[in-house]
A and B are shown apart, each in its own frame.
Chain A
Amino acid sequence: GAVVSQHPSWVICKSGTSVKIECRSLDFQATTMFWYRQFPKQSLMLMATSNEGSKATYEQGVEKDKFLINHASLTLSTLTVTSAHPEDSSFYICSARGASLGNTIYFGEGSWLTVV
């Protein structure tokens, strides 16, 4: 199947700094990428949807100025958590959909963010 890779898998950053998480589709062109967040013992919650070359569409309650999403190419989307706070500590996971692959969605391995 298609492969989606996330980097880094684990990251620790200091409060107030920014951290970037990358999501790459390795063997297909991802026309749409979705970013989810999962707090401990909670379900995955959709944060935003990004289409290549367009601005991301954020879900209600997600601050677009804090969670910057860039989908500048068909194989890469990035999520930047700006001015991170301890409450941003969470598991972030991306998924991607490619027109050539129908409507199947492929998930990255996820990224654990800990803000200290």
Chain B
Amino acid sequence: KQEVTQIPAALSVPEGENLVLNCSFTDSAIYNLQWFRQDPGKGLTSLLLIQSSQREQTSGRLNASLDKSSGRSTLYIAASQPGDSATYLCAGKVSGNTPLVFGKGTRLSVIA
């Protein structure tokens, strides 16, 4: 059964800093992995989706990587801004029609 772990649980950085959020998963036969953002009291916003055949995806200041052999994914945020403060969740699925399995998230605070 796929398990997803995110470290650290919380992270506080000064504005402008580059940062990396980590996600690990137990089943290397992962179908795809997705990074989400969740603001307090809100739903999920999909940030990046990486298919199993891909190694990374980029969107603006965000870059997500996927290394199936090591069971890891990272979300890199460049030049962080206070508006980036949120909880970031990674989630993976082992096949096309199975649900996403979520990590517990990393709560990011970017201090102005």
Number of A interface residues in the complex (CB < 8 A)? 22
Q: Which residue of A has the minimal Cβ distance to B98?
A: A49
Q: How many A-B residue pairs have CB under 8 A?
A: 43
Q: Which residues between 21 and 73 of chain A lie within 8 Å of chain B, taking CB atoms? A: 32, 34, 36, 42-46, 49
Q: What range describes how many residues of B lie at the interface?
A: 20 to 34
A109 pairs with B102, CB closer than 8 A? no
Specify the main secondary structure of chain B where it touches its partner.
loop
Q: Please tell me if the beta carbons of A43 and B105 are within 8 angstroms of each other in the complex.
A: yes
Q: A34-B99, A49-B99, A103-B97 are in contact. Are A43 and B43 (CB under 8 A)?
A: no
Given A107-B46, A112-B41, A95 and B104 contact (CB-CB distance below 8 Å): no
Residues of B bordering A, CB below 8 Å: 31-32, 41-44, 46, 49, 89, 91, 93, 96-97, 99-105
